[in-house]
């Protein structure tokens, strides 16, 4: 858009971004950046929101951070801002005080396990049969047939034994 072509500047309306919409919450890690033994004791991670986490990571890399950054986990949620705020509040004691960001956290191994658990807990699980591995489906079917066969043999009754008492009543 060329601003010289606009006669009336008042026609430009700023549309604030609405983060209270469905989207992704991501957990990024600055690899080998922090800790007594880099990456072994404390892990520096960022909890953020995005409609496109991969594009967010690319934008982050284009700013040339002092270390490699990777996405560890993403979850899809109904309200990005609410979930991100809850996670930031829950792990506020781990927050790294930076001038331009309050989304970075230092997690010890227990806290890192907790943040992963919180991500799982908040994730919207959308179940699809295509998500199931074909081997799991096949083994489940074989298992059901096997259980049915064993159950039939344990009862020791032939299938026609239920019909015999009815035949006796009619004779």
Query: Residues 61-85: what's their mean pLDDT?
Result: 89
Every domain of the chain and the residues it spans? 23-122, 129-170
User: What does the DSSP assignment read for 74-132?
Assistant: EEEES-HHHHHHHHHHHTGGGB---SS-S-EEEE-HHHHHHHHHHHHHH------GGGS
H or E segment at 62? helix 53-62
* Arithmetic mean of pLDDT over the chain: 79
Integer Cα distance of 53 and 43 in angstroms: 20
Q: pLDDT tens digit string along 118-163? A: 999 888 765 555 656 777 777 788 878 878 777 777 776 655 555 5
């Amino acid at each position: 858009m060329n601003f010289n072509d606009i006669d009336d500047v008042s026609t430009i309306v700023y549309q604030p971004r609405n983060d209270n919409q469905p989207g992704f919450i991501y957990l990024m890690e600055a690899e080998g950046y922090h800790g007594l033994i880099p990456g072994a004791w404390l892990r520096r991670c960022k909890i953020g929101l995005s409609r496109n986490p991969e594009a967010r990571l690319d934008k982050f890399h284009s700013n040339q951070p002092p270390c490699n950054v990777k996405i560890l986990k993403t979850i899809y949620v109904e309200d990005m801002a609410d979930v991100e705020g809850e996670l930031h509040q829950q792990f506020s004691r781990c927050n790294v005080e930076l001038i331009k960001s309050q989304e970075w956290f230092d997690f010890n191994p227990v806290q890192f396990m907790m943040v992963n658990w919180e991500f799982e807990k908040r994730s919207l699980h959308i179940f699809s049969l295509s998500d199931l591995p074909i081997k799991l489906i096949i083994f489940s079917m074989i298992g059901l047939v096997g259980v049915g066969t064993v159950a039939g043999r344990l009862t020791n009754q032939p299938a026609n034994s239920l019909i015999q008492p009815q035949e006796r009543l009619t004779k």
